[in-house]
Structure 1
């Protein structure tokens, strides 16, 4: 993996938009969507609604992925 952003299109509020993320973030986002049994467009729409007006969508996705990982790591440390 190159670490360079990869552009993908998603549909938000009925409109196509492009998001550039590193492939590792796309893979993690797909895994989260699969774990939640929802399409990636639906997950991105949730992230879009929850982000602040001063945060870009790509940044919000990266933070979402990071927080998901942090939550799962914390749960693994608590549970035997």
Structure 2
């Protein structure tokens, strides 16, 4: 775990593109894709469509992972009450 972004290639709209994310974000993204029974390219494509034009794809992926974690934490706190 170096904390440095690592480049991986994904296919979006039939074109290969590289995305730089830290290993922890790649792992979380793969886990989320597996939970949804989606290939990672399909999940990244969903994030890409939802991100709008004012945000980079890597930032949108990080926020997607963060929001998913926040939703889970909020759900577990609600369940604990």
TM bracket (short chain): over 0.9
Matched, 1:19 2:7: no
- What is the distance in 2 between the residues matched to 1:54 and 1:34? 28
2:20 is paired with a residue whose SS is strand
Gaps of at least 5 residues in structure 1 are none
Could you tell me which residue of structure 1 aligns to residue 30 of structure 2? 30
| CA-based RMSD | 0.6
| Aligned pairs, number | 80
Matched, 1:63 2:60: no
Deviation at 1:49, TM superposition (A): 0.1
**TM-score normalised by L of structure 2:** 0.97
- Runs of 4+ in structure 1 off by over 4 angstroms are none
Deviation at 1:22, TM superposition (A): 0.3
